[in-house]
Amino acid sequence: MVLTEEDFNAMEKLDRVQLATTLPGPKPICLVGTRSNEGATNLAPFSSITHLGSTPILMGMVTRPDTVERHTLQNIIDTGSWTLNHVTSGMVKQAHQCSARYPGSEFEATGLNEIYHDGIIAPFVEESAVRFALELEDLVDIPSNGTKLIVGRVIFAEVPDTDLDLIKAGTLASTALDTYFSLNEVARLPYARP
């Protein structure tokens, strides 16, 4: 079926959000770990994580200033530090629950365990098989709708193996704000030449 901008505008807001967050296709889903200047920890699910470069390794993620994610943004601005922790099937319910508006730490609220590494302010999630830490490089305004791209440099990673296999790691994909997928490899293709 065909949908035009008029159809989008006529949809119920939740239906439009569902469609808009499904159209890009499957997305990453990580828990973002941060810590405030006062030491309060925070965990928030983000699906807008994008690779930006490899030398150095840079990643971007999108945040809205007006949501629960503002703890995450404020902590990143204050400390320059955050972690990304892959969501796996064994922890999907706890990870999803981190999107609720808790007054305190999502670690305490969900029972996920925080661990630390020397020299890194932000907490890691023990239950994640793949986790890495970033340092703030840039905060880029997206004028169209007031969102921001948070750009970070990867300074540390903990992975099962350098040849990182997402299926072995149990990493999930996501879509919309509510759906999680496991993965089956259908193709690994050589570098394409004409």
- C-alpha separations of 118 from 29, 83, 139, 156 in Å: 25, 13, 25, 11
Shortest distance (Å) from residue 39 CB to a copy of itself: 21
Nearer to a copy of itself, 39 or 189 (CB): 189
Query: How far is the C-alpha of 39 from the C-alpha of 100, rounded, in Å?
Result: 20
Comparing CB distances to a copy of itself, the nearer of 36 and 153 is 153
Neighbours of 53 (CB within 10 A): 11
* CB-based burial, 34-49: b 16+ in 10 Å, e otherwise: bbeeeeebbbbbbbbb
37 or 89: CB nearest a copy of itself: 89
Least distance (Å) from a copy of itself to the CB of residue 106?
Answer: 10
* Residue whose structure tokens are 């050589």: 190
Nearer to a copy of itself, 37 or 100 (CB): 100
Measured CA to CA, the distance from residue 61 to residue 148 in angstroms comes to: 8
CB of 74 to a copy of itself, least distance (A): 20
Taking the complex as a whole, the smallest distance from the CB of residue 104 to a copy of itself amounts, in Å, to 9
CB of 177 to a copy of itself, least distance (A): 8
- Give 2 or 38: the residue with its C-beta nearer to a copy of itself: 2
- Reduce the DSSP state of residue 76 to 3 states and report it: helix
